[in-house]
Amino acid sequence: MRRRPGISGLQTAAATRDQYRSLGENVAKIRTDLMMEQLSIFRSQLEEFARKHKNDIRKSPAFRAQFHSMCAKIGVDPLASNKGFWAELLGIGDFYYELGVQIVNVCLSTRPHNGGLIDLEELRGLLSKQRRSSRDPITDDDCLRAISKLKALGSGFEVFSVGNRKLVRSVPTELNKDHNQILEIAQARGYVTSEEVQVSLMWHSGRVIDTLETLMKEGLAMVDDGHPDGIRRFWFPCVGSTSGAVEAGSELSS
Amino acid sequence: MEGAWGRILHPLQLTDSGRPQLFPGEVECQLLDGIDLELEGQQQQQQQLQPLRSGVLTLTTHRLLWVDEPHQRSGASVPLAAVCRVYPPKKSIKAIFASPRIRIQVWYASDGRISAVGADRSVVLTLVCRGQANIDSFLGRLEQVLQSKAWETDKASAPGSSSVILPPNSSRLPGAAASNSHASHSKWNPAMAGVSGILRKEQEQWEEADKNLQDAFHDLNALMAKAKDMVVLAEKIRSKLLGGSGGQSMVDEEEPGSKQEMQDWLLSVGITSPVTKESAGALYHQQLSRQLADFVKVPLQRSGGMLAMVDAYCLFNRARGTELISPEDLLQACSIWEKLDVPFRMRKFDSGVLVIQSKEDSDGQVFAKLVILIKTPEALKVGISASDAARAFGMAPALAKEYLLTAENQGCFLLKGYYAGMMEQMVFVSLQTCLKILW
């Protein structure tokens, strides 16, 4: 471009620059739209292939590796078996095993928010979102059946009822650090109430109740319903009495 | 692999659990058990080679790998590129009574090492199959792999020739597209000059990518043929839509949570060559066990030395993609660890909970810490309870109780009894204190 002197020259240069910029933005916009479109085609096709050609894909190790890497990059769950007649009737086939893996996956990925305790309904919702390609909807019964297949892996992963809700617990007591946090709170006065815990740790009520009940079963907490205000207190006789040992212990571990 | 064989065969790196380490892009196809490796003819006499005895042979897309079976500590490899001919076992009456022998003719270079480049002479390697392996399916696989020549396509794609179907990088200025390698080797064309030319070219590339996509998903065979291109395209889409700065992520607007979802997936598939019943045959559980040992190291570290079996089941299966294993297979793989030299073990708590634990965080270490804890002045008076130990070590009370009870069984210290009227509140005191009370 030839350089022109004066203010008009500068203005022209600025205008040209603007034009290029808007053109560039347009191109970028179109490009992104196109890419979104390709992404959705890619996704739906991969999902369909994962469902239809599962056995063929497994026959060729080299192609299987490529297929997995496509699925991983595009965000498609390669586990997409349909329930089918036999699975429904006898519980055989891959369907319930695949569902089991997906259930644990959801539990693992939501664990930072809920401490390993999830409402069955919420779990089912997240699963259906993940399995959007699959035609048959997932029922609570499917989830329960899939979880029962995991029994061989030891206890600790279980479904239990609180009121009329069903909760799934994915952290075994032996690995649950929630208990320690409640013990910390209890240290101040020797007891806690469930509201207190709920407020100070920002947990939902199911998690609090479950943790306190486990502590009771473990023999660490005692229930006190006799207070005039009618609020149940959980006493922890273990904390406080041997505080010297605890302090020494924390020095030790630090 | 040392000695004369080391001069002929290529070296092979093994993982901690004794499985061969594969190249990026290399995929395991089949395993054979009980394979002897021999060299035929003069070479053998010249070099005074003892045959390599009963190892595990692995066929991958790039190499033949031989690993010493009982120890799984040394191995060697033969690049498939050097293979010039495969002779199946002879079918004669005599051969019925002997172990089947697969003879493979390979090129070797003047320094005596098997090699595809600069080779002018050939030698015959013999695989003596002493196991009950399925020779026919192995030969079929070998033929397939030799035909597909995966090692060649890998080399070809290295300098960037796979960019054919790709649009230019969007982060560049439009003008920079002209310097793209794709453009530089095509003939200069006036219609392609200037801004409109760039746009037109871009459009063409998009159309091509679109067409590729449609062709590839026409049927399974088409997808197999175009798999490599599709992987590249997937990567490209991924990095464009999700990888860059937050401002570009258009995905979020349409589908909330979708970006998060895809990032979750990135972590998931990690094992390119999952051990399967089909590929490993009789070696299935043993090889699965080794693969699990290699895999579990990272998640175990992340979770602080103890991993619930259910979590391990999910993570391992996610890493294996479509090749699910059953809970029973996982347990069997873990139980084989005792026989293999791996730094992990399966542990069952009294409550029925199963975990994987690294051997380094053994009970002994925890006991030693407990003994120190129990000797503090306060604890000498009243003892320690599970919750004291839990808070001191930052572990769950239930786990601390488990450790205290085990330690008591081993005689580190004694269970003093139930404390302050609580049903299950146990207090532990050191042996020393007990002796003092008794005497």
Per domain, the residue ranges of chain A are: 6-74, 84-171, 177-253
Contact between chains at B351 and A173 (C-beta distance less than 8 A)? yes
Is the pLDDT assigned to residue A102 strictly greater than 80? Answer: yes
Nearest-CB residue to A152 (from B306, B328, B391): B328
Percent of chain B scoring above 70 in pLDDT: 72
Nearest-CB residue to A104 (from B173, B311, B425): B311
Domain match, B291 and B212 both: no
- Please indicate whether residue A218 or residue A63 has the higher confidence score (pLDDT): A63
Contact between chains at B349 and A174 (C-beta distance less than 8 A)? yes
Contact between chains at A153 and B313 (C-beta distance less than 8 A)? yes
Contact between chains at B237 and A79 (C-beta distance less than 8 A)? no
Strand partners, A118: A168
Can you give the pLDDT at residue B55? 85
Is the pLDDT assigned to residue B255 strictly greater than 50? Answer: no
Nearest-CB residue to A68 (from B269, B399, B420): B269
Contact between chains at B231 and A69 (C-beta distance less than 8 A)? yes
Asked if residue B351 belongs to a domain, the reply is: yes
Asked if residue B175 belongs to a domain, the reply is: yes
Nearest-CB residue to A237 (from B209, B354, B425): B425
Contact between chains at B385 and A242 (C-beta distance less than 8 A)? yes
- Please indicate whether residue B339 or residue B183 has the higher confidence score (pLDDT): B339
Tens of pLDDT along B107-136?
888 777 888 777 778 888 888 888 766 788
Is the pLDDT assigned to residue B265 strictly greater than 50? Answer: no
**The last residue of a domain, from among B223, B241, B266:** B266
- Please indicate whether residue B112 or residue A193 has the higher confidence score (pLDDT): A193
Can you give the pLDDT at residue B248? 38
Asked if residue B173 belongs to a domain, the reply is: yes
Nearest-CB residue to A62 (from B61, B234, B330): B61
Contact between chains at B390 and A180 (C-beta distance less than 8 A)? yes
How far B346 CA sits from the closest chain A CA (Å)?
Answer: 11
How far B189 CA sits from the closest chain A CA (Å)?
Answer: 22
- pLDDT band of residue B45 (cuts 50, 70, 90) is low
Can you give the pLDDT at residue B331? 93
Domain match, B135 and B170 both: no
> CB contacts < 8 Å between A and B, how many?
309
Select the residue from A174, A181, A222 to test the B interface by mutation, using most B Cβ atoms within 10 A.
A174
Can you give the pLDDT at residue B145? 87
Nearest-CB residue to A74 (from B234, B317, B348): B234
Tens of pLDDT along A104-152?
988 888 888 888 888 899 999 888 887 776 667 888 888 998 899 898 8
Nearest-CB residue to B378 (from A41, A153, A244): A244
Q: At B104, phi and psi to the nearest 5? A: -125, 120
Contact between chains at A68 and B308 (C-beta distance less than 8 A)? no
Asked if residue B137 belongs to a domain, the reply is: yes
- Please indicate whether residue A61 or residue A86 has the higher confidence score (pLDDT): A61
Nearest-CB residue to A249 (from B214, B388, B402): B388
How far A34 CA sits from the closest chain B CA (Å)?
Answer: 8
- pLDDT band of residue B413 (cuts 50, 70, 90) is low
Q: What is the mean pLDDT of residues B177-200?
A: 59
Domain match, B202 and B299 both: no
Report the 3 state secondary structure along B301-321. HHCCCEEEHHHHHHHHHHHCC
| Residues of chain A found within 8 Å of residue B379, distances taken between Cβ atoms | 242, 244-245, 248
Nearest-CB residue to A108 (from B167, B314, B388): B314
Can you give the pLDDT at residue B72? 62
- Average pLDDT score, chain B: 75
Q: Report the alpha-carbon angle B180-B182-B187, nearest 5.
A: 110
Range of the domain at B133: 3-156
Contact between chains at B310 and A23 (C-beta distance less than 8 A)? no
Answer for the pair B356, B312: CB distance below 8 angstroms, yes or no. yes
Domain match, B245 and B106 both: no
Can you give the pLDDT at residue B421? 41
Percent of chain A scoring above 70 in pLDDT: 87
Is the pLDDT assigned to residue A210 strictly greater than 60? Answer: yes
B296 vs B344: CA distance, rounded Å: 9
Is the pLDDT assigned to residue B261 strictly greater than 80? Answer: no
Domain match, B113 and B26 both: yes
| Residues of chain B found within 8 Å of residue A183, distances taken between Cβ atoms | 387, 390-391, 397
Contact between chains at B396 and A179 (C-beta distance less than 8 A)? yes
Is the pLDDT assigned to residue B211 strictly greater than 70? Answer: yes
Contact between chains at B388 and A238 (C-beta distance less than 8 A)? yes
Class of domain A177-253 (CATH, top level): mainly alpha
Task: For residue A158, give every residue at least 6 positions away whose Cβ sits within 8 Å of its Cβ, in sequence order, or none.
Answer: A147, A168, A169
B294 vs B320: CA distance, rounded Å: 13
A109 vs B265: CA distance, rounded Å: 11
Domain match, B205 and B222 both: yes
**The last residue of a domain, from among B266, B299, B332:** B266
Asked if residue B52 belongs to a domain, the reply is: yes
| Residues of chain A found within 8 Å of residue B352, distances taken between Cβ atoms | 154-156
Contact between chains at A152 and B220 (C-beta distance less than 8 A)? no
- pLDDT band of residue B341 (cuts 50, 70, 90) is confident
Contact between chains at A250 and B248 (C-beta distance less than 8 A)? no
- Please indicate whether residue B199 or residue B127 has the higher confidence score (pLDDT): B127
| Residues of chain B found within 8 Å of residue A61, distances taken between Cβ atoms | 27-29, 61, 273, 279
Could you write out the DSSP letters of every residue in B239-273?
IIIIIS-GGG-THHHHSTTHHHHHHHHHTT---SS
How far A213 CA sits from the closest chain B CA (Å)?
Answer: 13
Q: What is the mean pLDDT of residues B98-109?
A: 84
Q: Which of the four CATH numbers 3.30.2310.20, 1.10.10.10, 3.40.50.10490, 1.10.10.350 does domain A84-171 have? A: 1.10.10.10
How far B43 CA sits from the closest chain A CA (Å)?
Answer: 35
Write the CATH number for B292.
1.10.10.10
How far A131 CA sits from the closest chain B CA (Å)?
Answer: 12
**The last residue of a domain, from among B156, B181, B216:** B156
Nearest to A156 by CA among B335, B361, B292, B398: B398
Domain match, B403 and B337 both: no
Asked if residue B393 belongs to a domain, the reply is: yes
A209-218, B85-94, B425-434: range with highest mean pLDDT: A209-218
Can you give the pLDDT at residue A50? 80
Percent of chain B scoring above 90 in pLDDT: 5
Q: What is the mean pLDDT of residues A82-96?
A: 70
Domain match, B367 and B402 both: yes
**What are the angstrom distances between the C-alpha of B397 and each of A177, A178, A202, B367?**
8, 10, 21, 15
Return the minimum-mean-pLDDT range out of B81-85, B269-273, B399-403. Answer: B269-273
Q: What is the mean pLDDT of residues B189-209?
A: 76
Domain match, B77 and B119 both: yes
How far B331 CA sits from the closest chain A CA (Å)?
Answer: 7
How far B20 CA sits from the closest chain A CA (Å)?
Answer: 16
Is the pLDDT assigned to residue B334 strictly greater than 90? Answer: yes
Q: What is the mean pLDDT of residues B247-270?
A: 45
B74 vs B185: CA distance, rounded Å: 47
Can you give the pLDDT at residue B329? 92
Can you give the pLDDT at residue B427? 66
Domain match, B45 and B147 both: yes
Can you give the pLDDT at residue B335? 92
Domain match, B387 and B306 both: no
- pLDDT band of residue B330 (cuts 50, 70, 90) is very high
Contact between chains at B228 and A105 (C-beta distance less than 8 A)? no
Domain match, B303 and B247 both: no
Q: Find where tokens 């006991």 sit.
A: B367
Number of domains forming the structure of chain B: 4
DSSP type of residue B410: T
Can you give the pLDDT at residue B163? 37
- pLDDT band of residue B224 (cuts 50, 70, 90) is confident
Instruction: For residue A167, give both structure tokens.
Output: 């909760």
Contact between chains at A105 and B170 (C-beta distance less than 8 A)? no
Asked if residue B285 belongs to a domain, the reply is: yes
Can you give the pLDDT at residue A79? 79
Asked if residue B272 belongs to a domain, the reply is: no
What is the dihedral sign for C-alpha A98, A99, A102, A103?
Answer: negative
* CA closest to A152 among chain B residues: B327
Can you give the pLDDT at residue B107? 84
Nearest to B325 by CA among B360, B275, B366, B367: B275
Q: Find where tokens 């399974």 sit.
A: B220
How far B279 CA sits from the closest chain A CA (Å)?
Answer: 9
Can you give the pLDDT at residue A55? 79
